[in-house]
């Protein structure tokens, strides 16, 4: 597992080097220093996420939505959620808690079989910014090990419980080769709102590139999913996983770098 983690770390480093090199060349090649006004805001956001390995939304040029479910697996709620997603033909990303993975590995294996993405939500679901740094490393490593034992898959993405992070935690996750994933929309389904309230929160906040934070153990979430998915598809949205969103952003930056290198009109900047 350490060898796989090293491989991921090297790949992330290479990607980071390409991005930094692209922006350096862009600045060096200009007779006037580039300002933020030269670059569309959404490109700045994509670049920032890749450079910092901290993801909070996908490309706003894509009518894509990533549904993410935290805190599972759960022996009662997870099978119902998986059945609903299967009926809807939606693939989601599950940020699972390591201790729950060890208890119910068959549910995590089912997630993988059905085309979902399984990623790291630590082992004990502790608030990482509130514990010693040594424990932060242990929590992340133990969560990854549980997923590895259940699926043979080494997670690439990590979500800190409660979204609670700080500079030291981010350094640890990056040094481990992870991309930290937060969210664009939090409809607060953990508050157990009624169905109408949750629908209002969900429908009112979606935009292209949305990463939506949901939880496996909330029955009302499963209840409103079919209507939400149907409406979003009617509006032209597609449901994708976190990894698909991340790779799409990487391709956008690399494609822009190639256009700039070859002196071609850039599809992102409107010209070279």
Angle at 218 between CA 217 and CA 222, to 5 degrees: 110
Q: Please say whether the beta carbons of 49 and 55 come within 8 A.
A: yes
Check if 194 is active-site.
Answer: no
Residue 185 has φ and ψ, to the nearest 5°, of: -125, 135
Tokens standing for residue 268 = 């992102």
Distance (Å, whole) CA 87 – CA 42:
34
Distance (Å, whole) CA 122 – CA 95:
9
Check if 121 is active-site.
Answer: no
> How far lies 91's CA from each of 54, 55, 94, in Å?
22, 19, 10
Active-site option among 47, 57, 70, 116: 70
Radius of gyration of the chain (CA): 19
Tokens standing for residue 100 = 């729950």
- Strand bridging mode 64-70 / 210-215: parallel
User: Measuring CA to CA, which residue among 210, 253, 209 is closest to residue 59?
Assistant: 209
Q: Please say whether the beta carbons of 236 and 211 come within 8 A.
A: no
**H or E segment to which residue 150 belongs:** helix 133-151
Distance (Å, whole) CA 66 – CA 140:
23
Active-site option among 57, 121, 125, 215: 215
Catalytic residue set: 70, 215
């Amino acid at each position: 597992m350490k060898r796989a983690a090293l491989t991921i770390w090297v790949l992330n480093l290479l990607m980071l080097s390409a991005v930094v090199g692209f922006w350096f060349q862009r600045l060096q090649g200009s007779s006037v220093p580039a300002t933020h006004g030269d670059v569309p805001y959404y490109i700045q956001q994509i670049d920032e996420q890749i450079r910092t390995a901290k993801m909070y939304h996908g490309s706003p040029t894509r009518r894509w939505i990533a549904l993410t479910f935290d805190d599972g697996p759960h022996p009662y709620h997870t099978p119902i959620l998986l059945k609903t997603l299967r009926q809807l033909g939606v693939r989601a990303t599950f940020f699972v808690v390591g201790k729950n993975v060890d208890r119910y590995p068959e549910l995590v294996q089912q997630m993988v079989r059905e085309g979902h993405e399984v990623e790291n939500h630590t082992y004990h679901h502790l608030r990482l910014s509130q514990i010693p740094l040594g424990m932060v490393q242990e929590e992340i490593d133990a969560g990854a090990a549980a997923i590895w034992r259940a699926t043979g898959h080494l997670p690439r993405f990590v979500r800190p419980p409660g979204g609670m992070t700080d500079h030291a935690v981010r350094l640890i996750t990056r040094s481990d080769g992870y991309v930290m994933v937060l969210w664009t929309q939090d409809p607060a389904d953990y508050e157990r709102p009624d169905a109408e309230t949750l629908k209002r929160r969900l429908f009112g906040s979606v935009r292209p590139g949305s990463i939506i934070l949901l939880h496996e153990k909330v029955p009302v979430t499963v209840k409103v999913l079919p209507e939400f998915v149907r409406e979003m598809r009617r509006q032209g949205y597609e449901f994708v996983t976190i990894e698909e969103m991340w790779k799409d952003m990487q391709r956008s930056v690399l494609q822009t770098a190639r256009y700039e290198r070859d002196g071609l009109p850039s599809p992102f900047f409107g010209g070279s």
